[in-house]
Amino acid sequence: MRRKLVAGNWKMHGSRLDNGPLVEAILGAPTHANVECLICPPFVYLAEIARELRGSTVRLGAQNLSAEAQGPYTGEISAAMLRDVGCDYVIVGHSERRTLFGEDDLLVARKFAAAQARGLTPILCVGEQLSEREADRTHEVIARQLDAVLDLTGIASLARAVIAYEPVWAIGTGHTASPAQAQDVHAFIRQRLAHRDAKIAASLQILYGGSVKKGNVRDLFAQSDVDGGLIGGASLKSEEFLSIMAAARG
């Protein structure tokens, strides 16, 4: 049985003042052997939050990283630095990075590889735009985004990765995918990977992201190929996030 993963993507939110109570609330939540909890704060808060999480089962992740290992790349953060301050995970290819910061499939694949080279588990985000869904191109877009990574790193790399299906039209909009829409794409991803390696596909965690809240999470998590969530807005409110964690516990 796959464990559920509940990941909070704080995006560019938070402050030292606000983070403390949120982290404390998450640390106070009941734990469960089959549920892993992860938070992804902005870079500048990682080291401090890593200290607060020490000794707990809550994991730490970053929201982005450089595709380069080291060097004259002003403003960039490497995988090794993220490991150094206590990260286990890193999000790559979030739709905001793809659309607002011009990250293409190849750059996302290089970031995925850079993360794994330093022992970070990448959370690879894939998802279609509304116009692509309306043109019935969802599977084609997801396949292209997945294949860019597979072509660079191979199917074996998926044994040390997580995928997050995030339909772009559902992110931060309040319009979540229906449980059936999410299940359809999750099953498509798993089947596509199963053609290359059935065992890796069967054990891969595939998260859903896009306007997940306490009110819709149970139906989403009840889908057979939904292994947790990548939670944006609702991860900033402790009561919402704790309810989502509770739903993952079943």
Catalytic residues: 94, 166
Do 95 and 64 contact (CB within 8 A), yes or no?
no
Among 5, 124, 212, 226, binds ligand PGA (CB under 6 A): 212
In the complex, which residue's CB is closest to ligand PGA? 232
User: CB-wise, 86 or 233, nearer to ligand PGA?
Assistant: 233
**Which of these, 210, 65, 206, 201, lies nearest to 128 by C-alpha position?**
210
Interaction between residue 210 and ligand PGA (CB under 6 A):
yes
Given the rule CB under 6 A, which of 55-63, 72-80, 116-124, 230-238 is the region that contacts ligand PGA?
230-238
For residues 94 and 127, give the distance between their C-alpha atoms in angstroms, rounded to a whole number.
Answer: 9
Binding to ligand PGA (CB under 6 A): which residues in 22-51? none
- x/- contact string, 120-159, with ligand PGA (CB under 6 A)? ----------------------------------------
User: CB-wise, 71 or 174, nearer to ligand PGA?
Assistant: 174
Tokens of 115: 């993360």
- x/- contact string, 167-206, with ligand PGA (CB under 6 A)? ----xx----------------------------------
Interaction between residue 19 and ligand PGA (CB under 6 A):
no
Do 242 and 29 contact (CB within 8 A), yes or no?
yes
Which chain residues interact with ligand PGA by CB under 6 A?
Answer: 9, 166, 171-172, 209-212, 230-234
